[in-house]
Amino acid sequence: MNILYIHQYFRQPAQGGALRSYYLAKALVEAGHAVTLITASDGPAYYQEKVAGIQVHYLPVAYDNSFSSLRRIFSFLSFTYRSLRLAWGFKNIQLCYATSTPLTVGLVALVLKKLKNIPYYFEVRDLWPEAPIQLGYIRPRWLQRLLYAFEHYLYRQADKIIALSPGIMAGITPHKPAAAISLLPNIADCTFYTPGSPARHNFDDPFYICYTGTLGRANRLAFLLAAAGACQAEALQQVKFMVSGTGAEAAALQQLANELGLKNITWTGPLNRNQVRQYLSRAHATYTSFDTQPVLETNSPNKFFDSLAAGKLTLVNTKGWLQHLVETHACGFYADPEKPQEFVQKLRPYLQNQALLLSAQQQARNLAESTFSREKITQAFVQIFRKPGSSRI
């Protein structure tokens, strides 16, 4: 099958970042499909290259988490327009696979279906426009209604929908028969990450908690600063926080940490994939942070699955699916982000009891291998493209 794959933020291993689309597209190639992928780059001009058998077309459309709302919208619309122009000239495309966010990538798939009779599958990574509406990015009621209508129409027109979490799936189900929706979470790369942390022999030995990812409004890393402040106030000098990444809130967060007098946080800036692995190898635990809007409880964040693969005590400050996973599988804990003392209370047993820490770390790795490994997720993904009643893809 000739498949057109559209993802504005496609990354490959040499670049780092979220590699879900790389591994999924690569799995399609290995299964015998021809994959053409359209993405964006910060470069000045269009170019294309072959990546692991995937023909990748790079459009010169810049995007960064620090962009203003208006500039983000311009980036989304520019990518949509340029993608459609490029895709229009492709020959023999049999299926389009579009992955959000942003929701506007679905417009390319929709136009191709209506005007060229090309069916499409739509992957929902976040519930748009619900997320930006709850975060306050989209305020006019008329625009909210328009975007909701567009979202629902995209769902109805898609041949299949791929949801990254149970919460996302629940948000889609009212608009699409459940039989047409596949749950396919993010990937825990158990090949790339090797479990292991520095040994701790007593309560006062260093204990490192790592955050990797975007420092943006939705992540609300002020909650991590509050947890760090509570640890410092309780004289837990052994607890150190390592924060890596960049985003719109980076400068403000560092300024706030200075104003609070926090001495237990190290800021690394953005890291490539190998550097993230190195930092995780030094950590005993990870912290996954989001704001408190209900829609963010449906997230399926890459950093969470990296933590499982690396065998870390996995700490989350959001309810929903992530809380259920860490509590059900005893590989971490949820702490109310607005009650930093609760974080200290729940962390303390892992500082005191090395066996408890090691058990949670092992449970994290077990969960990664049994449920979210790259092999399991990519195999399930390829099956979505298998014709019903056929053993052939």
Judge if 162 and 21 occupy the same domain. yes
Residues 263 and 280 in one domain: yes
Asked whether residue 151 falls in the same domain as residue 219, the answer is: no
- Which amino acid is present at 183? L
Residues 156 and 268 both lie in one domain: no
Number of domains in the chain: 2
In a domain, 19, yes or no: yes
Both 218 and 347 in one domain: the answer is: yes
Structure confidence at residue 393 (pLDDT): 45
The pLDDT tens digits for 298-325 are 999 999 999 999 999 999 999 999 999 9
* Contact of 63 with 52, CB cutoff 8 Å: no
pLDDT of residue 8: 95
d(CA 10, CA 99): 10
pLDDT at 137: 87
Whether 180 and 253 share a structural domain: no
Are 97 and 164 within one domain? yes
Compute how many other C-beta atoms are within 10 angstroms of the C-beta atom of residue 189. Answer: 24
**What is the C-alpha radius of gyration for the chain, rounded to an integer number of angstroms?**
21
The predicted structure's pLDDT at residue 15: 81
Q: Which long-range contacts (C-beta less than 8 Å, at least 24 apart) are formed by 232-235?
A: 232/262, 232/263, 232/264, 234/344
Instruction: Give me 57's structure tokens.
Output: 């077309």
Residue 387 is predicted with a pLDDT of 66
**How remote is the C-alpha of 328 from its chain's centroid?**
21
Asked if 216 contacts 224 with a C-beta cutoff of 8 angstroms, the reply is no
What are 156's two structure tokens?
């109805």
Please count the other Cβ atoms lying within 10 Å of the Cβ belonging to residue 68.
9
**Domain with 278 in it: what CATH number?**
3.40.50.2000
Question: What was the pLDDT predicted at 389?
Answer: 47
* β-bridge pairing 95-99 and 54-60: unpaired
Give the span between the Cα atoms of 104 and 81, in whole angstroms.
Answer: 10
Q: What is the pTM of this model?
A: 0.93
User: Same domain for 143 and 252?
Assistant: no
CA distance linking residue 212 with residue 195, whole number of Å: 17
Range of the domain at 38: 2-186+373-384
The 10s digit of each residue's pLDDT in 147-159 is 999 999 999 999 9
**What string of H, E and C letters represents the secondary structure of the chain?**
CEEEEECCCCCCCCCCCCCHHHHHHHHHHHCCCEEEEEEEECCCCCEEEEECCEEEEEEECCCCCCCCHHHHHHHHHHHHHHHHHHHHCCCCCCEEEEECCCCCHHHHHHHHHHHHCCCEEEEECCCCCHHHHHCCCCCCHHHHHHHHHHHHHHHHHCCEEEECCHHHHHHHHHHCCHHHEEECCCCECCCCCCCCCCCCCCCCCCEEEEEECCCCCCCCCHHHHHHHHHHHHCCCCCEEEEEECCCCCHHHHHHHHHHCCCCCEEEEECCCHHHHHHHHHHCCEEEECCCCCHHHHHCCCHHHHHHHHCCCEEEECCCCHHHHHHHHCCCEEECCCCCHHHHHHHHHHHHHCHHHHHHHHHHHHHHHHHHCEHHHHHHHHHHHCCCCCCCCC
Note whether 145 and 241 are same-domain residues: no
User: Is the domain of 182 the same as that of 218?
Assistant: no
The verdict on 221 and 334 lying in the same domain is yes
- State which residues of the chain have pLDDT below 50: 389-393
* Per-residue pLDDT, 230: 98
* Strands of the 265-269 sheet, one edge to the other: 265-269, 239-244, 207-212, 285-288, 313-316, 332-334
